[in-house]
Structure formats: structure tokens, C-alpha cells
Structure 1
Amino acid sequence: MTFHKYIYIPLLATTLFLSSCQEKEKHLASNDTENADSDALSAYKIKAKKLNPDYILAKQKSLDLFFEKNWPNNSMNGGFLVAKNGQIIYEKYEGNSNFSKDEKIDQNTPIHIASVSKVLTATAVLRLIDREKLTLEDKVSSILPAFPYEEITIKMLLNHRSGLPNYAYFADDTKIWPRAKMLHNQDILDLLAKHKFGLYFKPDRKFGYCNTNYAILALVIEKVTGKSYRTAMQEMIFEPLGMKNTFIFDYEKDKETASQSYKGNKILYENNHLDDVYGDKNIYSTPRDLLKFDMATYSDKFLNSVLVSEAFKGYSYEHKGTKNYGLGIRMLEWETGEKLFYHNGWWHGNTSSYVKLKTDTVAIFALSNKYTLKTYKVWKLAPLFGKYPIKLDKDDVAN
């Protein structure tokens, strides 16, 4: 449920457009340099240098150009936020969470973040490890006795090296699961136990991105905490960080009130039998809430530095290249030493991207509930903030 695409940033075309951008930038700079940690991170705050207004203005020029090129004429239908040191540099919201009710998207509107949910699920698991409730090397079957694959560990679920088959595929077989019936996480475990589907490859042999890994991790969280995934995530992640506009979708409770999902032509996506599975997806959030989460990951009080190091390193080097995967996070690693961390997501018409530039303390978020591949282009903004070997055309940034 993840894509990898690319972006370009246009050059300023006319002096008139520059003037309008400057007016907009003044508004942005004065309105939202307050950042997202007003009521969060009190226990997890890190020292960060306040940004120079001239620095903010310079970055806003390029960010505004990027936004206008990729989402012209109010076409985004979502939210876009860029921050450094927890301070919001650029933020914009457009479109509707529900077209039929004319409900507008703003900074407080939760949108389905799709597979970016995996980042949060992984963090909850790591916090349980930090509390010595489990370990990376624990066998999944020691926690969930019905799990039929004895070699698979917690780490293999986190880094997608388990070889598990994708539940979206075997649950599409009507001989295995009736599509008129909603599938739940426990059903996935029960089907694995009953059918003992063959693994795609021997555990830990290679990387194979698979949503089943994170659906099972959600069950691990439930078993270890003795609470539902929804409650555990609320208590371990959302509440401590002040993520007041973040929740986990409950099909029966939220299907009518949550932000809807649309095709590119604004036609509503219909829900299906996979819409109540969580862990791999089904977290709704906002860019501001996700910024609170991002900043907490720099704090030793939130997650100890040893586990952070484990999370932000690659585990799959079977093939040469820059792409890799840590514990719930994708990454680009260059031979020159630079690293860029990110996770993308897609579910129905919802597309999402979270980019983390650790060296530069920069976070970039793009969320949309109307299908578009442009969401996935934001990672190429990295050279605006640091040294990254990403090729930009001569008109990619404002001078």
C-alpha cells in the first residue's frame, strides 16, 4: 500500500506572483511559528534553536512555489506542513473531508494516514520493549500461541523480513473469507492458524513489504498490554503527546463521521471488508499531531536512544541500492553517508507521506483524502534543508 514517486519545484514566474507570495508568507510566519508543541511534549521537549525570520521567509518562497505547482487551483484536498526544530515554516489546508456535507479540511481535520500508521504502531512496540514487556528477538508464537510460524520474531514483523503472506490477498479468496463479512485482526490470525499459508520466503532471508506484519503487531500490542489496540495507542502515544485530533478508525462507529475517501474525480470510494483492520493502517491524524509525534522521537524520555538507533538503521542489504527499511520506517541511504527517513501510505483514495530529516530536525507531512500521487513527491524537498545527493533542476528552488 505504498508508492515511491518524485517531485519538482517551479521557479517564481512573475513579480506579481512574488508579491502575493510575500504577503502570504507574512501571514504564515506571523500566524504559525508558534509550532505544535503548545500542549504536547511537556515531558519530551528538546532544546532547539529558534529559527531566524529571514530563514523562514526564504524557505517559504520555495515551499509556496512547490505547493502551487503540485496542487494548483485548490486541488490538494488535504494538508501540507513543513517544520524545522518543531517550528512550523509552512502549512496549508484545502478541500473537503466530506463533499456531500461540504465539510472543509483545516488544521484540526483528521485524515486517514494509511501506511504511515505503521510508524506509530512500530513506536508503540518499541515503547513496550523499552518497558521490558517484550524484546525484538521474542518469537511471535511465544506471545500469540496460535501463530503458526515458529521462526518469525517481533523484529522480523517490524522490518518486513518475516515472509508472511499478505492478508489482503488471501482474504480476497471467497473460499477463505466471505467478502460480505468484515475482516478483523483476530480473523487474520485465525486464518493463518487454520490454513497455515505458505510463507513467501524463509524468515529473515530478505525484505518483503507486507501489511500482515503490522496487523499481527497490533495483536501483539493487545496481548502484552491486556488492552485493545485503540486504547493502548491512546495511552502510549496519542495522549502523552497531546495528539488530540488522532484516532483509530472503528468501522461501525466512524464510517459516517470520519473524513471520507475519494477518487481523483471526487467520486466516493466504497468501504470494503478490509476496512476494520488496524496496525498497518486505519489511524486518522493531522500534520500538526504528527509533528508532535516527530518531535518526541528526538527525546530520550519518550524512547531510549539505543532503541531509536535500532529503529533508524537498515536491515535489508541483499541488493545494492539506496532504499532500505528500519523498524517501521523507510529510508534512503547514500554511499556519501546521508540518510533520509520516510514512510508513504495509500488506502482507497487516501495518500500520505511523512519525511523525517533527522540530521536537520526537519519534518514534512502531506496528507490527502482525494487520490493523487503528488503526495509522494515531498521527499525531494530535502535539499532545501541540508546536504542530500538529490538532483534538482535549475528551476526547482527559488533564488
Structure 2
Amino acid sequence: MKKVLLLIIVTANAFVYSQKSRQENQLDSIFTFMYNQNQFNGTVLISDKGKIIYNKGFGFSNEVKKTKNNSTTIYELASCSKQFTAAAIVLLKRDGKLDYKDKISDYLPELEFWNNVTILDLIRHTSGIPEYLIDLSKNIDDNTIATNQDLINYYAVKKDSLQFLPGQKHRYINTNYALLATIIERVSGIEYSRFLEKNIFKPLKMKNTFVYNRRQSPKKIKNYAIGYVWAKNTFDKVIYEAPGYDDKMVYKLDGIVGTAKVNSTVEDLYKWINTLKNNTFFSPDEFDLMTSVTKTTEGQNINYGFGLDLSKGENKFSFGHTGSWDGYSTFVYHNMVKDRTIIVLQNFKMGTYPYANINEILDYKPLSIEYKRKINSPESEIKKYIGTYIDEKDEKQFITYLDGYLVHNSSRVAWDMRFFPVDENEFQAVRQGGTDGVLKFIKQEDGKMKLEMLQYGSLMGSGIRK
């Protein structure tokens, strides 16, 4: 009997190991093919039922030194930083130093003209406050790095009206979390970075997590990933302000914290997710509030909690966030029902993640085609589509060739968008966050070539080659 029981246990363990190995191989195959066609560059960690089943890095953390991304590489989290800003507010509320219903003018008297906006409005993006990203950068000298106080001073002078009454609508605005960071500093009496370090990162042993403004206060950090974009009309990876890309916005806004600027690893973030789901740092009541779906005064659901996107319903509960800033693309997600965590950190603006395929693999379902594979097409076959295409409004679409890809620009916007061949006359876009885009070329009866631009199957524009 003991021998039979032992055989059953060994057989069961072998089956589980075989299934796990199969999942790991499938995940590795998908991420490898996406890396090979310029759609992934970073580190991924995936756990299912509380166990890590995949943790691997792809590409380089530093394109000059050719250092490779790995499981302990540190990345800027972009908007995934917001959950830590909101968490800091929870801790201050716990200590009785503020209340969620407090008016922000109590702490930011410079903005007293927004006197009906509350802290909770900032947290849930129901404030009506305008977005600072574009307007502020336009009003800053190219050699100046703005801070949170500069942002507050800007609006104190400008005195913009609210875009809607507080609580009336939900509109995701980065300014909300920049203001929360300053409230944290003024209430606690210490810098935002120090507050997070002292009250969150250190207690949770998140040893490689910190606030970092890499242009304002550059440091030498071991195994740090630099955020990259493609230089114009090349496949060279550069930083935003490099001559080949020449965008100064992220440089000029580098000193602003709260909305971004937390840096971390997939392994530290996994500790954070486990802390949230197990209520080991926040009480069940605090976590329930942080992940509550609420409503606007107009009755619309707000599927956004305390720095967390939410999906809740019958047998459904997940939370997480995405981020894109300064050449980084991030995704942090946890499914409470399936006890499943997916963390993807990338140091490449155009990076994406095969979310549907990951879940299909973990659920033992057939794989769908989430991202099409690049086919081997002769240069001459690709080049036959280059040229200038003109639509009925006389807008020009410029199609050029670059190292096996087609590049799309227009007379209206210099998109510099790259497309790879997936069929004889069809090309798939490499786009930020994996947003779908297709160029389709159709030869007309009169011999002229027609260009169709599609997004998620819908026709967005067209033109005839002249």
C-alpha cells in the first residue's frame, strides 16, 4: 500500500512539474518572439496561485554598455508610482494627520480658488483640475527642471477654472497626484521620497525601491535600466532629449514627484502585491477602501481606487495600474480571485505585453493570436509600397523604408511609426502599449496603389499613391 501511495504522489508531482514546465516554455516562447520583433525590452514576473512561475529579463538595460536586463534590474515605474502616493495618504489618515474629506486648500493655500476640491477627489481623479503635462512644459526654459512647487506656483498665477465640479466626473489627470505628493510633504514635514522610504519601502524590505529623479539628481545605481525611445528614422535607442529625438518635455518635468518617479524591481513589486492582497500592511478596512468602486455625483462608476485601476463584479476582482513615461512602459496587475500576479517593467517606450496570451497559458486554454509575427519578406517586396499617398482632403501620407520595416509620417504629424510585414500587402505597427495599427495596400483596377490605415479593424484613413 505504501509503495502504491508513493507512486501516486510521485506521478502527481511529475504531472504538476510537467505542466509548470510547459507553461514556462510557452511564456518564454512568446516573450522571445516579441523581443525579436522590437515589441518587448525589459523584465517580467508572473505568479499563479501564490507561486512564481516565470521571472526573466530581455534586452539591454544600458544600450551603450550592453548590460542585460534581469530579474533584479531597476526601472522607473511611471504612473505605477501613483499607488505608493495614495498609500502614503492612507498612512497619514491612519495617524490622524489628515482626513480624506479635507479640502486641498487647507494644505495648499496657494490654490485656494480650488477650495471645493478634496483629498479624495485628487486620489480618485474626480477633482476637475487641469492636466499640467503639456502646458507647464511649454512655460519652462529648456535648461530648467520643474519641481512640485513650480507646478503649484504655475497654477497659483494662472488660476485656471476647474474642468467640472468636484465629484461630478472621473477624468485621469496627473496633476492630482503631484498635488498629493506636496500634501504628504507639508503634513509629514519631510520630503516625499523620504516619507515613502521610511514608512513603506523599509518596513516592507523593498530594498531596491526608491524615488529617483535621474536628471535632476543623477546617481550611479547598479543594475539600473535607462528609458529609451527610437531616434527619428533609425532603430537606435536614445533618451528623450538626445539630438536624434529632441523632446525636452520629460527633462523639464523631471523634478515633479507623486505622479511618477518611484523606481523598483519586479521582485520588490511582488512583495508589495503580496502585502496588499494579504492585508499584512493595511487593514482589511483600509484595503477595501483603497479598492472600492465608487460613483460620481452623476451616477457613473469610478473604476479607480487609491492609485489602482479596478475590475470588480460577480466572481471578479482585480487591481493594478499601467504606466508610460520617459521611455518606460510598466504594468502591475493582480487577480484576487485566481491569485495571479503579472508584473511587466520595460525600458522602451514602444514595449508592450501579451496579457491575453499570459492568461490563456495559465488557464490551459488554446492560444489566440494576440500579436502577429513578422514574416520574412524580401526588401524589394516591401519597398514597392513606398511613396506619397494623398487622401480626399489633400493630406499627404509618407511611406518610407527602414531596415525591413515601413515608416509612416504625414503632412500633419511626423509620426515616425514603424510597421513590419505580416502578410504580402499588410503591415503591423510597433506602437506604444501595443495599440493596434495596420497599413494595408490594395492595387486598384486602374493600376494605382491605395493605402488603408486601420485601427482595431476600423478604417481610420486612406490615400492614393501619386
> Which of 327, 340, 346 is the equivalent residue of 1:368?
346
Q: What does residue 267 of structure 1 align with?
A: 238
Structure 1 residue 332 displacement after superposition: 3.0
Higher mean C-alpha displacement, 276-285 vs 187-196: 187-196
CA distance in 1, matches of 2:252, 2:335: 36
Matched, 1:311 2:290: yes
Q: What does residue 160 of structure 2 align with?
A: 197
Higher mean C-alpha displacement, 253-262 vs 232-241: 253-262
Tell me which amino acid in the other structure corresponds to 2:284: S
What secondary structure is seen at the aligned counterpart in 2 of 1:186?
helix
CA distance in 2, matches of 1:179, 1:164: 25
Matched, 1:153 2:130: no
- Count, aligned residues: 338
Matching of residues 116-127 of structure 1 within 5 Å: 116-127=80-91
- Say what the alpha-carbon RMSD is for the aligned residues: 2.8
**Contact 1:130–1:303 (Cα < 8 Å) also in 2:** no
CA distance in 2, matches of 1:274, 1:394: 40
CA distance in 2, matches of 1:247, 1:367: 15
> Which of 278, 284, 288 is the equivalent residue of 2:267?
288
- Which structure dedicates a bigger proportion of its chain to strand? 2
CA distance in 2, matches of 1:101, 1:319: 53
In structure 2, runs of 5+ residues without a counterpart are 1-15, 242-249, 371-466
**Contact 2:121–2:166 (Cα < 8 Å) also in 1:** yes
Q: What does residue 228 of structure 1 align with?
A: 191
Q: What does residue 132 of structure 1 align with?
A: 96
- Residues 324, 339 of structure 1: alpha-carbon distance in 2 compared, 3 angstrom cutoff: same
Q: What does residue 308 of structure 2 align with?
A: 329
Matched, 1:302 2:265: no
- Residues 152, 54 of structure 1: alpha-carbon distance in 2 compared, 3 angstrom cutoff: farther
CA distance in 2, matches of 1:354, 1:371: 16
Tell me which amino acid in the other structure corresponds to 1:80: V
Q: What does residue 141 of structure 2 align with?
A: 178
What secondary structure is seen at the aligned counterpart in 1 of 2:24?
helix
CA distance in 2, matches of 1:234, 1:247: 7
**Contact 2:41–2:351 (Cα < 8 Å) also in 1:** no
The structure showing larger relative contact order (alpha-carbon pairs under 8 Å, at least 6 residues apart) is: 1
Cα displacement string for residues 345-382 of structure 1 (whole angstroms, at most 9, x for unaligned residues): 0002110001111222221111111122413x426634
Q: What does residue 169 of structure 2 align with?
A: 206
| TM-score scaled by length of structure 1 | 0.77
Q: Identity across aligned pairs (percent)? A: 30
Higher mean C-alpha displacement, 177-186 vs 277-286: 177-186
CA distance in 2, matches of 1:202, 1:374: 35
Structure 1 residue 65 displacement after superposition: 3.8
Bigger Cα Rg? 2
Cα displacement string for residues 240-266 of structure 1 (whole angstroms, at most 9, x for unaligned residues): 111111121133322675532211431
Structure 1 residue 172 displacement after superposition: 2.9
CA distance in 1, matches of 2:260, 2:229: 18
CA distance in 1, matches of 2:367, 2:50: 29
Cα displacement string for residues 48-83 of structure 1 (whole angstroms, at most 9, x for unaligned residues): xxxx64563354244234323433378632100102
Structure 1 residue 282 displacement after superposition: 1.0
**Contact 2:85–2:180 (Cα < 8 Å) also in 1:** yes
Q: What does residue 332 of structure 2 align with?
A: 354
CA distance in 2, matches of 1:65, 1:369: 20
Higher mean C-alpha displacement, 228-237 vs 124-133: 124-133
Cα displacement string for residues 20-39 of structure 1 (whole angstroms, at most 9, x for unaligned residues): xxxxxxxxxxxxxxxxxxxx
> Which of 168, 188, 204 is the equivalent residue of 2:133?
168
Cα displacement string for residues 116-161 of structure 1 (whole angstroms, at most 9, x for unaligned residues): 0011211121122223222221211112222321111111111111
